[in-house]
Structure 1
């Protein structure tokens, strides 16, 4: 196993369990104590874990921490591109689709520019801007009003009132985290309220979440794990997470990005 693969395995186990011991990693990965300690040092220097005596724990990110849109847009780009490309196949011409705020749904928006006669409802300034720049006369975009969050979502009573008057075929929901206990979550209380209204307005709930979202828990739950009709993730999702989602959601779709794939040229231009 290459060092990068080993470190990814360590990181996923820390995120999944909350902490690991050096001795446990030595046994599971079949390498020396010194090798594991070097791996932990590398991960700690990157701010991905916290080293403790005899092992490592999660970084202690609070359930209310909300990274800005720009910070999130550079994370897991290949995975988000693969997820967006696969999720776009679920959208049919002439339909009404809602896109929540987030960098994965923003990536999806670029792929939906080619869908004719589409009606898009969103509370995301960034998502709406993608369609505005696309300029297709046969596409209708409804941007709800509200108070802007660090993730460029419009939330609050104005957004909630607007969404309650709408009905859509499918909601494409980006999430901060997902877990067996807490379901799909966000670190922003007002955004959770707005997203819950989007869930209620949709006939079908499709959750877009790369593998790093598993085990992450925001302060507020949007929906329970089994409320999703489809979850689209990537091949980095841990096997136990895949097993649980397969059992509890309508369908789990794994989008596996090719290492040779380049990001869509439209997305690169937007970045």
Structure 2
């Protein structure tokens, strides 16, 4: 397959799904991991997509919402490190909320594996997180909001917002599609509304998002940075992002990640 043909296939996959993994492209295109990474780098240089660790995301679309599975393996090492750091904020006997997302799902898995954190009440609008925590057994009470299902397996809309209006939790762990100096964004209007309701129900808002999310802008704004108490992210976060967070009064928790090899995405 010629380079142009590969590039066209990669662009089509990113446009259709919003995100794509290097491993999936290797299998689909029948070329080496190195070739796919080089193709992604060339397309990123043209501005048609954006490299992230493990794959690529759409650089232009602000209203497209990638499916949960297409995002799951992107920046996986960073997400796992972020989830481990966030777990330190979970205390037995407390009530926490988890928004939908791949990083919050990893946090749900970490919570489920820790018997010493029980009893615990978890409020969530994430179907995968609710299932993970329910299967963990005795000691975790799971409160699922209800609502309409999105491609990212979130429950959103008026039913979810109404359910959250009468709830109060100690801390919310909030994922984000995009972050910049103006705050958090998502492609889904109803998910933005539901996430704002989650934030109103929480005494403390902790955002869990890997550094590749900085500079991505979705269609709908969730919260300004000033309403975020803590951002837990990886240490590849850009200096200008760190400055914006300090200016907003948001506490920054950086987690170290493995060194990336030259040319890695």
Partner in structure 1 of residue 47 of structure 2: 57
Q: Closer, same or farther in 2 for the Cα pair 1:133/1:218, shift >3 Å?
A: same
Equivalent position SS for 1:242: helix
Q: How does 1:1-271 map to 2 (within 5 A)?
A: 45-46=39-40, 49-51=43-45, 56-59=46-49, 60-113=59-112, 114=114, 115-135=117-137, 137-181=138-182, 183-258=183-258
- Cα deviation for residue 144 of structure 1 reads 1.0
Tell me the C-alpha RMSD between the 2 structures: 1.9
The separation in 1 between residues aligned to 2:99 and 2:39, in whole angstroms, is: 33
Q: Closer, same or farther in 2 for the Cα pair 1:58/1:235, shift >3 Å?
A: farther
The separation in 1 between residues aligned to 2:81 and 2:66, in whole angstroms, is: 22
Gaps in structure 2 of 5+ consecutive residues: 1-34, 50-58, 261-265
The 10-residue stretch of structure 1 (126-135 or 56-65) with the greater mean CA deviation from structure 2: 56-65
User: How high is the TM-score relative to the length of structure 1?
Assistant: 0.75
Task: Check conservation: 1:63, 1:218, Cα contact below 8 A.
Answer: yes
Gaps in structure 1 of 5+ consecutive residues: 1-40, 261-271
Q: Closer, same or farther in 2 for the Cα pair 1:187/1:124, shift >3 Å?
A: same
Q: Closer, same or farther in 2 for the Cα pair 1:71/1:48, shift >3 Å?
A: farther
Higher alpha-carbon Rg: 1
- Cα deviation for residue 57 of structure 1 reads 2.5
- Cα deviation for residue 239 of structure 1 reads 1.7
Task: Check conservation: 1:177, 1:217, Cα contact below 8 A.
Answer: yes
Q: Closer, same or farther in 2 for the Cα pair 1:94/1:233, shift >3 Å?
A: same
Equivalent position SS for 2:107: helix
Equivalent position SS for 1:244: helix
- Cα deviation for residue 218 of structure 1 reads 0.4
User: How high is the TM-score relative to the length of structure 2?
Assistant: 0.76
Task: Check conservation: 2:134, 2:140, Cα contact below 8 A.
Answer: no
Q: Closer, same or farther in 2 for the Cα pair 1:245/1:49, shift >3 Å?
A: farther
The separation in 2 between residues aligned to 1:47 and 1:126, in whole angstroms, is: 32
Q: Closer, same or farther in 2 for the Cα pair 1:236/1:165, shift >3 Å?
A: same
